[in-house]
A and B are shown apart, each in its own frame.
Chain A
Amino acid sequence: MSPLTIARVGVGLAATVKALEFWPVLVRLAGDPRVVQMPLAPWPRPSAAAAPWVAAGWAGLGLTVAAGKAVPVTGTLLAVLVGYVLTLDQQTYSNHLYLLSLLALLLALAHTRRHREPALALLRWQLVVVYGFAAASKINGDFLSGRVIAENLHPAFGVPAAGPLPASLAVAAIAIEVFVAWSLLRHRWRTAGVIVGLALHLAFVLAITQTIAMIAFAVMCLSIYPLAFTTAEV
């Protein structure tokens, strides 16, 4: 299986999982009058009857991309549909959906003869950008205090809301994300970066309360990793 095929299957399957995750969100946003609308972009909103079809179409496009069927078309449609949902309302925005939309578009381009090489390069760069800015944005007092990380860990870990333990975890999270971003740029360090990245995503899945979202995020990111080994440069 080629690195591009792994990326396509991973992103397609992750798209399907995200569609199932957002299905009830879209249905309630469209159909529950108690929900406060917080529009991001002035798109027409789906009706209560149409919302399940948006999610179903999204899931179907994900499976079609994973199966490798007409990827330039289905990948573009998936990117547009996910882009619509993530800009529909502040409550449907998600960094994971933003990443999914970009990856679907780049995968569609990577399956065309004309745009293949630049799209592959951008797919490799995308993860560097995501990890790099994820780390940079965490350099602030609120995160470094450990409060944010403590709030989002499973209660079973028993991490206190403040103190040296959550603060140390916060610093470690930043350092690890910086290392993964940097190592994906360095030929000699890529294997180490992939191992650390795998461990990072496994920790997200096991430790953060949003398990399904973390699994989909891991599948999305990890499926791009093999592309890093297809070139000496990024």
Chain B
Amino acid sequence: MGFLAVQIAVPSWQLTRPRPARFGWQMYAAGAEAEAFSVVGRDGSVTSLALDDFVVRRRDDLDLLRFLPPAICARTGALAVRYRRAAASEPVEIPCRH
């Protein structure tokens, strides 16, 4: 009964969090929080990034905004990282802290 209770409680809790969340059987339930990353160079140029250079397996539930911008800044020496929220058309810019 404990096993089944956990199996119901955890996915129920995950329904209250932003989707898609892990351990909630949320398969193809929602799109990724961010997509189309690019870097803003010191000369103001904007270069698109291939996510496959940074991510081995793309999933909609990756915390891309937590892990990618610092890694992109460190690797490219860029001034800022830009991305698009899946549902929005305007790019969002995150300044790099060098």
Q: Is the CB of A125 within 8 A of B25?
A: no
Q: Is the CB of A134 within 8 A of B26?
A: yes
Given A34-B53, A122-B4, check contact A138 B62 (CB 8 Å): no
CA distance A92 to B29 in the complex (A): 18
Q: Is the CB of B25 within 8 A of A129?
A: yes
The chain A residue sitting closest to B22, CB to CB, is: A93
* CB contacts between A and B, total, < 8 Å: 102
Q: Is the CB of A95 within 8 A of B54?
A: no
Interface secondary structure of A, over-half rule = helix
CA distance A138 to B30 in the complex (A): 7
Give B48-98 interface residues, CB cut-off 8 Å to A.
Answer: 53-57, 59-63, 66-68, 71, 75, 86-87
Query: For B14, B26, B60, B87, which residue has the most chain A Cβ atoms within 10 angstroms?
Result: B26
CA distance A35 to B67 in the complex (A): 11
Contact among A37, A90, A95, A125 for B26, CB-based, below 8 A = A95
Size of the B side of the interface (Cβ < 8 Å), in residues, is 37
Chain A residues contacting B22 (CB-CB under 8 Å) are 40, 90, 93, 95, 98
Chain B residues contacting A125 (CB-CB under 8 Å) are 4, 7
Give per-residue flags for B11-32: 1 if the beta carbon is below 8 A from chain A beta carbons, else 0: 1101100011011111111110
Assess whether B8 is interfacial by the CB under 8 Å rule. yes
Q: Is the CB of A36 within 8 A of B71?
A: yes
Assess whether A130 is interfacial by the CB under 8 Å rule. yes
Chain A residues contacting B29 (CB-CB under 8 Å) are 134, 137-138, 140, 143, 148
Contact among B11, B15, B63 for A90, CB-based, below 8 A = B63
Chain B residues contacting A126 (CB-CB under 8 Å) are 7
Q: Is the CB of A38 within 8 A of B30?
A: no
Mind listing 16 A-B residue pairs with CB under 8 Å?
A25-B57, A34-B75, A36-B67, A91-B55, A91-B57, A95-B27, A98-B22, A130-B25, A137-B14, A137-B20, A140-B19, A140-B29, A142-B31, A143-B30, A148-B31, A152-B28
Which positions in B face A, CB cutoff 8 Å?
A: 3-4, 7-8, 11-12, 14-15, 19-20, 22-31, 53-57, 59-63, 66-68, 71, 75, 86-87
